[in-house]
Structure 1
Amino acid sequence: MQIEETVIDHIRVRPRFKMITDISRENYTAFLKDFLASKSGEFSGNVNSETAVITVKTDGDDYLKPCLSLRTETEENKTVIRGVFGPSSAVWTFFMFLYFIFGILWMVFITIWFVEKQIKSSDFPWALSASFIMLLLLAGTYLATRLGQQKAKSEMQQLRKFAEQSILEFKKDTE
């Protein structure tokens, strides 16, 4: 089995992979627990029957510390293992919330400004300034995410290596 890095891995914020196997979910979960225990000096995580979250052990705890989320499902008597690399779900949700709020507020303020200009009113002189502030906040949020991604790049590579090794070891044990 060969694992390749594709162009899409460089583009996606949360790269994903999928593996289909004949082994049961319980056996894979037990294997993953043992594999994580053997790598306990480098990685930490939580493994249960349906999901697993693996992180790299580091000195600091950055806000965009990457993790590997694994989910096992049963489809047509086969086990499907889906993996997602990215920040924790709480951080991901927080940044999506910021993008949503700043985007909606920008649309509201620019609409207020546009309607004010159309009806030749001067009731909301602050609307254009507020829309520019929202654009700056959107840009700041984007820069914060890019900074966090750059800081977490080496940890992301370690997680990818962990995923590849666990899959290769798992395949070797099942053959």
Structure 2
Amino acid sequence: MKDYLNSDIHLRPRFKMNFSESQDVLISKFKKNLKSENCNYCSKIVDGHIVIDVPVDENHFWSPQLNIEIEKMNGDETIVKGLFGPKPQLWTLFMFFHFAMAAAFIGFSIMTYVQWTLKEDNSMALIIVIGLPILWIVMYFLGRIGRRKGHKQMDELYGFMMKTLEV
């Protein structure tokens, strides 16, 4: 089994592993482990896609989710791709704020330029144009803080996945 990890800068860490077992065998391992009595993880399995959430009683705003994609390769070889990230609702909200700030930055940049060329007072628009990248950087670090708060749960999900795949 080979394990490929991306650099640490990503807000949504990814990994990829190669296995010499078939896709069906690996999926059946997950089904068996997730339905056992001592498993508290919430999960959804659709074809080769598995979503594992932390237990409901341990869930908080920054709790991660593990998305696993099991793909067939040649013969009995498979690739297991994983992605840790926040719940889709939180990620969508987070991305909405990023796009809204980008649109506001473009709009206020145009407003600053127009006011500057018309020789009008552009101080308010200029302050907003300078403040938006600072706000974007703050949001990036908030995402990093959130990932750090969910890191223990990410380790637990990863450990559960590795235990399941090595059975």
Is TM (by shorter chain) over 0.5? yes
How far apart are residue 70 of structure 1 and its match?
0.6
Q: Which residue of 1 aligns with 2:73?
A: 75
Partner-residue secondary structure (3-state), 1:127: helix
Q: For residue 134 of structure 1, what is the amino acid of its counterpart?
A: L
Distance across 2 between alignment mates of 1:92 and 1:85? 11
2: CA distance, partners of 1:136 / 1:13: 18
- Give CA deviations for 1:76-105 in whole Å, capped at 9, x if unaligned: 333222111121233223212211210221
1:121 aligns with 2:117: no
Q: Which amino acid aligns with 1:119?
A: L
Paired position in structure 2 for 1:157: 155
> CA–CA distance in 1 between the matches of 2:103 and 2:114?
16
1:104 correspondence with 2:139: no
Contact 2:73 2:79 survives alignment (8 Å): yes
Q: How has the CA–CA distance of structure 1 residues 20 and 134 changed in structure 2, closer, same or farther, with 3 Å as cutoff?
A: same
Report if aligned partners of 2:33, 2:39 keep a CA contact under 8 Å in 1: no
Cα deviation, residue 125, structure 1: 5.5
The percent of aligned pairs where both chains have the same amino acid is 26
How well do the aligned residues superpose, as a CA RMSD in angstroms? 2.8
Q: 1:144 to 1:62 in 2, by over 3 A?
A: farther
Distance 1:42 1:16, change over 3 A: same
- Give how far 1:32 is off: 0.7
| Aligned mates of 2:54, 2:14 — CA distance in 1 | 18
Contact 1:50 1:71 in 2 (8 A): yes
Paired position in structure 2 for 1:27: 25
Which stretch shifts more, 62-71 or 137-146? 137-146
Which residue of the partner structure matches residue 55 of structure 1? 53
Unaligned stretches of 5+ residues in structure 1? 170-175
- Matched AA of 1:21: F
Cα gap change, 1:75 to 1:49, in 2 (>3 Å): same
